[in-house]
């Protein structure tokens, strides 16, 4: 919840579609353990839309530089269901760590995990 409040404090409106549910059991450090959130909209733009690109970049950069709120996992493969190299480069620990399949699944939302 703190990360969502942090993004709101930065002036963003944030929509989510998975905090603790809507996922398989991903363990105590994931959604099932309440330590992950999927961001679906930023400032009124659905991450599933190409129009969200600039918002996704801004939020991903803010998350990478969030100090004590910097996530353990930031999975963001693109927007509008299309991969984007600049967005993928912001993944934590890296897009290569997660693999092509996982990155492709994250071109319509941003996964943030602690």
pLDDT band for 54, please (50, 70, 90 cuts). very high
pLDDT tens track for 2-46: 999 999 999 999 999 877 655 555 555 666 667 889 999 999 999
The predicted structure's pLDDT at residue 59: 98
Q: What percent of the chain has pLDDT over 70?
A: 88
Q: Output the CA angle 12-114-14, nearest 5 degrees.
A: 15
Higher per-residue confidence, 31 vs 64: 64
Q: What percent of the chain has pLDDT over 90?
A: 80
Per-residue DSSP letters for 10-76?
A: TT--EEEEESSSSS----TTSTTTT-EEEEEEETTEETTSGGGHHHHHHHHHHHHT-GGG--SEEE-
Lookup result for tokens 């994931």: 30
Q: Give CA–CA dist 47/96, Å, rounded.
A: 21
Higher per-residue confidence, 33 vs 78: 78
């Amino acid at each position: 919840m703190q990360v969502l409040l942090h993004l709101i404090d930065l002036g963003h409106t944030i929509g989510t579609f998975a905090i603790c549910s809507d996922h398989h059991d991903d363990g105590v450090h994931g959604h099932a353990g309440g330590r992950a959130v999927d961001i679906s909209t930023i400032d009124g733009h659905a991450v599933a839309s190409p129009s969200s690109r600039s918002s996704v970049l801004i939020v991903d950069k803010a998350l990478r530089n969030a100090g004590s709120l910097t996530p353990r996992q930031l999975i963001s493969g693109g927007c509008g269901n299309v991969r984007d190299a600049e967005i993928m480069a912001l993944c934590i620990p890296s897009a290569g760590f997660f693999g092509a399949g996982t990155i492709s699944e994250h071109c319509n939302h941003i996964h943030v995990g602690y």
